Amino acid sequence: MSINSGKHDWWYKACDVCPKKVDPKEDGTWECKRCQKVTKTYTIRYKVEIIAFDETTTITLLLWDNEVLTLLGVKAQTVHDSMAATYEGYPSILDELLERKLLFRINVKAENISGKDTIFTVWDICSDEDVVERYYPKLDLTDNTTQTGLTEDGSSNVLGISQAVVNLQNDSDS
């Protein structure tokens, strides 16, 4: 897995009330289109792209503030404020995301299926080792088949990637 973010694109300027981005106005204030709030301040929130890959494929996942905050336990504003002005690249704390074995619930949009949008938004993350292991496919690379996650018709509800597992079935479907 790798981080697909640079110095300025792992975060965004968000409304103090809701998680939507704010737009600058000519008078130096910031406006949220969702809640119509105009303010002199904004909040820094996470927006981190990761690329998960194995021997067969890659997938780009977008993790928003709630997911990254849950995994790292540090607010984006705190990380942003602690970075030196001359710092290049994304903050090193994001590397902690790379060493984890996780189960992702993703949003698959029509644009993802048609190939117009290759970034899948993460809706939920599970780091419970027992749950991850239950859904993690056992790959036999000589056979090119998985031994878990198969339905009766031979299709799979799990996309297996060595460093990440994307569960396409929610828990209530089991």
Q: What is the pLDDT of residues 143-159, one digit of tens each?
A: 444 444 444 444 444 44
Residue 66 maps to a domain? yes
DSSP-based three-state secondary structure for 13: strand
> What is the CATH number for 118?
2.40.50
Q: Within the chain, how many helices (H) and strands (E) appear? A: 4, 13
Residue 19 maps to a domain? no
pLDDT of the residue at 138:
60
Give me the number of domains the chain comprises. 1
Residue 139 maps to a domain? yes
Residue 30 maps to a domain? no
Residue 23 maps to a domain? no
Residue 130 maps to a domain? yes
**What is the spatial distance between Cα 71 and Cα 102, in angstroms, rounded to a whole number?**
10
**What is the spatial distance between Cα 151 and Cα 59, in angstroms, rounded to a whole number?**
22
Mean pLDDT over each residue of the chain, to the nearest integer: 80
Q: What is the CA radius of gyration of the chain?
A: 19
More confident residue, 156 or 50: 50
Domain range for 167 is 2-10+47-173
Residue 41 maps to a domain? no
Q: Where are the beta strands (DSSP E) in 69-149?
A: 103-107, 119-126, 139-140, 145-146
Lookup: tokens for 25: 């106005």
- Summarised one tens digit per residue, pLDDT across range 88-104 is 788 989 999 887 888 88
Residue 82 maps to a domain? yes
- pLDDT of 118 > 60? The answer is yes
